[in-house]
Structure 1
């Protein structure tokens, strides 16, 4: 879909079957998904792991937004992270020549689609239920975790755009 001439996702109207209270989070995740593909379209593979001024690489941002979304969805289900998720977390940002932009972008896209399906099946009545984050069991709620995943992805997309702009100069 050519999104260049479309308004931002949140201005395109409600998403079918998505609870009203989760529309903003769903819109933000869809915006992030579109921007990942837009901003990385012509980005050179050779720059994927470069860290300008010691800041995070584009590869890190792509891995991290996928990992955070996965972890927030797990916590929202009231579950603890698996060893596979901890391994993914440990590997975020480590240069890996086997990982390509297309794979990383695709992985994020798949995770966004999973989140949107979960949003559609989430009864609004559980959104304020308590959930706990991490080993310290810090308090949150289902809606808090969904919104954090959405805003966190938007923040990292912005950081990724700056990194891409600097590296492409």
Structure 2
């Protein structure tokens, strides 16, 4: 299942993605590819195990999806819905979904992110957006960039956790 293509950012510009947001889209697509490959054939019975008191693969998969959704919401200038707040509270606690279901949820969230990125007008990238209940100021480009950075950070943690659990 190993992908022999160069990393996404080396494959050239993505159609319809604003120039300044190409790195964000590249990172999210790279994360989706790597996560899909990483979790292929990962057993459901190891999904909620942790290594050295670190977060489980299931938590990372839920969090990757949820935080991407939340950051996109803030980038649109919206507050989180009750449903998003419930999802946030359930991350790591709702253990009812399989590896395949969690991976599919993340892939769908990346598609939603790419649609939003594609439709983002570059002239609003420096517009201020509030984050969280305290409405801490950020910008559209700050939130979109952080969505990619945060996704890659948790993917890195997931890669290590899965590698250790596969050896057990």
Same fold (TM over 0.5): yes
| Residues 58-108 of structure 1 deviation map (CA, whole Å, 9 limit, x = unaligned) | 000000010011001100111110110010000101151x20111111111
Equivalent of 2:157 in 138, 156, 159: 159
1:35 equivalent in structure 2: 34
Tell me the CA shift for residue 4 of structure 1: 1.3
Q: TM-score, normalised on structure 2?
A: 0.97
* 1:50 match: 49
Deviation at residue 42 of structure 1 after TM alignment:
2.0
TM-score, normalised to structure 1, is 0.96
> Would you say how many aligned residue pairs link Structure 1 and Structure 2?
167
Q: 2: distance between equivalents of 1:110 and 1:8?
A: 20
Secondary structure of the corresponding residue to residue 52 of structure 2 = helix
Unmatched segments (≥5 aa) in structure 1: none
Match of residue 127 from structure 1: 125
CA contact 1:49–1:95 (8 Å) conserved in 2? no
Q: Which residue of 1 aligns with 2:85?
A: 86
Report the equivalent of 2:74: 75
Q: Secondary structure at the match of 1:16?
A: coil
Check whether the contact 1:76–1:142 (CA below 8 A) recurs between aligned residues.
Answer: yes
Partner residue in 2 for 1:100: 98
Unaligned stretches of 5+ residues in structure 2: none
* CA RMSD of superposed structures (Å): 1.0
- Matched position secondary structure for 1:132: strand
- Measure, in 2, the Cα distance between the counterparts of 1:116 and 1:95: 27
How has the CA–CA distance of structure 1 residues 62 and 145 changed in structure 2, closer, same or farther, with 3 Å as cutoff?
Answer: same
Give secondary structure in 2 for the equivalent of 1:74: helix
